[in-house]
Amino acid sequence: MPIANQGLPHLVSINGTTFKLEDDKGFVLDTLDLSGIGTFTTVSGGFTRTHLSAPAARKHVTSVMGTIATTSTTDSYIIAPEAGTLTSVTLAPLVALAANDTNYITFTITNLGQAGAGSTAMLATSDLNTTKATGGQALAISTQISLTVHATAANVTVAAGDVIRIRATAIGTLANTVTVPVFLLKFGGTT
């Protein structure tokens, strides 16, 4: 039986002294053997992210973007699951795109805030977050690439419920469309 599952990782008893730490989808994050500890009690309200290791406290949000056209901008949106910070972004497309310094994609992520009017850049504004041949990354079929988050802490801080826009902007004319790119955003925090 979960202990105070509020969308956070929670403990599930295996045999009374051994527990597994699961996320809210049932994925086992860790197994704990407490047989040598004796008795322990949780406080009312259960565990918060401050009680967990950084990996166990991380929230993941996936966004499937529509096909990126050869000459336009394509957007996808998520809602920040809790207060915290954006720690990493991974992208995996279903189609390859060769790196090119003239015809490329620039990836941006913007925190639009609660009202949808914010403009805080959450990714580094550099060629690292492009498909440029010089400084960027080519896209390979179903292969993950990491995008670079902004180095300024204030830029990657979110409040629960912030609207986050993920944008792919085609510069020039791409060699082909990029079908169904999937973005994985990981958020860490202390709440």
Per-residue model confidence (pLDDT) at position 118: 94
Per-residue model confidence (pLDDT) at position 122: 98
Our measurement of the distance from residue 166's CA atom to the centroid of its chain's CA atoms, rounded to an integer in Å, reads: 11
Amino acid at 6: Q
Q: Which residues have C-beta within 8 Å of that of residue 43, sequence separation ≥ 6?
A: none
In a domain, 22, yes or no: yes
Helix (H) / strand (E) element for 56: namely helix 54-57
Residues 79, 159: one domain?
A: yes
Per-residue model confidence (pLDDT) at position 51: 58
Q: How many domains does the chain have?
A: 2
Q: CA 139 to CA 117: how far, in whole Å?
A: 31
Q: E strands along 80-188, which residues?
A: 84-92, 104-113, 120-121, 145-147, 157-158, 163-171, 182-188
| 58 contacts 113 by C-beta, under 8 angstroms | no
In a domain, 3, yes or no: no
Residues 52, 70: one domain?
A: no
In this structure, the number of other CB atoms found within 10 A of the CB of residue 83 comes to 16
Beta bridge partners of 147: 89
Residues 169, 131: one domain?
A: yes
Name the residue range of residue 47's domain: 10-57
Residues 119, 179: one domain?
A: yes
Per-residue model confidence (pLDDT) at position 142: 92
Residues 158, 64: one domain?
A: yes
Per-residue model confidence (pLDDT) at position 81: 86
Provide the CATH number for the domain around residue 76: 2.60.120
Residues 107, 160: one domain?
A: yes
In a domain, 4, yes or no: no
Q: DSSP letter at 84?
A: E
Per-residue model confidence (pLDDT) at position 6: 44
Residues 93, 141: one domain?
A: yes
Query: From the CA atom positions of the chain, what is the Rg in Å?
Result: 20
In a domain, 157, yes or no: yes
| 141 contacts 94 by C-beta, under 8 angstroms | yes
Residues 102, 85: one domain?
A: yes
Kindly give the parts of the chain with pLDDT less than 70.
1-19, 21, 23-58, 190-191
In a domain, 2, yes or no: no
Residues 29, 110: one domain?
A: no
Residues 80, 136: one domain?
A: yes
Residues 46, 116: one domain?
A: no
Q: Which residues have C-beta within 8 Å of that of residue 174, sequence separation ≥ 6?
A: 68, 69, 70, 71, 97, 103, 104, 105
| 80 contacts 160 by C-beta, under 8 angstroms | yes
Q: pTM higher than 0.75 for the full model? A: no
Residues 20, 92: one domain?
A: no
For residue 102, count CB atoms less than 10 angstroms from its CB and return exposed for 0-12, middle for 13-18, buried for 19 or more. Answer: exposed
Point out the domain boundary residue: 57, 79, 94: 57
Per-residue model confidence (pLDDT) at position 124: 96
Q: Positive or negative CA dihedral for 184, 82, 73, 153?
A: negative
In a domain, 25, yes or no: yes
In a domain, 5, yes or no: no
Residue with structure tokens 């944008």? 167
